[in-house]
Amino acid sequence: MQFYKAVWLILFVVLATALAACGGDGEEIALLQSVTAEEEDFGSFTLHYPEGWINEVDNDNIYVATSQTALDRALSSSAEETLSSDEAGAWAWVIAAEEYADQGIEGDSPTEVIQAFVAGFVEGGNEANLGDPDEFSAGGRSATLVSGTIANDAGVFFGAIIVAIAIDGGTGFIFVITPPDEVDDREALARALASEFEFTPAAQ
């Protein structure tokens, strides 16, 4: 899998987080639906997401959104307006550790992997204003989150929350896109998605 493939798709995956799914501190986030995809020769992974959202699986990528119209916007890399207050988006994928070297990743911790991802994104000519890595436990696994804003090809800024999760033999990624002024409000959602992310290694 190409580490940076279709990166701009997820910058425009949009969905409305229901009030029960994106509340503030201490509010439970219910992820009542799930969808599974497979990375060939590596394993399958499952993303749990809020009730009422739609999903799309594109080979080894999972996208979720509140409507097909919102999901269709994910196909554009040059949106001229940022997301409104009722929109957000998520993309999930995995990468095997044996692919790290080919992608310029020199370490194997979630923090090292996510730093390499962000560096590659910026080196590709995209503007990103992301904070320091925040390490946490996602369902008992090591995980790292970075958040802030990123700009698309048209120079329009979006909120971004990127999570790297340690899985057997590699890393799972969840990339959440929000309105630029709602990043803090959606971090709880990103952490919940990461905590319930599942990975099953391929049979050897």
Residue 98 lies inside a defined structural domain of this protein: yes
Q: From CA 173, how far away is CA 180, in angstroms rounded? A: 20
pLDDT score for 4: 43
Q: Domain span at residue 72?
A: 7-18+29-201
- Flag whether pLDDT at 125 surpasses 60: yes
Task: Please state the pTM of the whole predicted model.
Answer: 0.84
- Flag whether pLDDT at 106 surpasses 50: yes
Mean pLDDT of the region 92-110: 93
Q: Are 128 and 148 in contact (CB under 8 A)?
A: yes
Instruction: Write down the residue that tokens 């001229």 correspond to.
Output: 80
Q: How deeply is 155 buried, as exposed, middle or buried, from its count of CB atoms within 10 A (0-12, 13-18, 19+)?
A: exposed
Residue 23 lies inside a defined structural domain of this protein: no
**Residue 53 is part of a domain; what is its CATH number?**
3.40.1000.10
Q: From CA 145, how far away is CA 128, in angstroms rounded? A: 15
What percent of the chain lies above the pLDDT cut of 70? 81
Residue 62 lies inside a defined structural domain of this protein: yes
Q: How many domains does the chain have?
A: 1
Residue 36 lies inside a defined structural domain of this protein: yes
The model's confidence at residue 5, banded by pLDDT at 50, 70 and 90, is very low
Distance of CA 3 to the CA centre of its chain: 13
Residue 108 lies inside a defined structural domain of this protein: yes
- Per-residue pLDDT reduced to its tens digit, 29-55: 899 999 999 998 999 999 999 888 889
pLDDT score for 84: 75
- Flag whether pLDDT at 21 surpasses 50: no
Residue 24 lies inside a defined structural domain of this protein: no
pLDDT score for 189: 92
- Per-residue pLDDT reduced to its tens digit, 137-166: 999 999 999 999 998 888 888 889 999 999
Residue 11 lies inside a defined structural domain of this protein: yes
The model's confidence at residue 65, banded by pLDDT at 50, 70 and 90, is confident
Q: Between residues 137 and 5, which one has the greater pLDDT?
A: 137
Residue 2 lies inside a defined structural domain of this protein: no
Q: From CA 126, how far away is CA 76, in angstroms rounded? A: 15
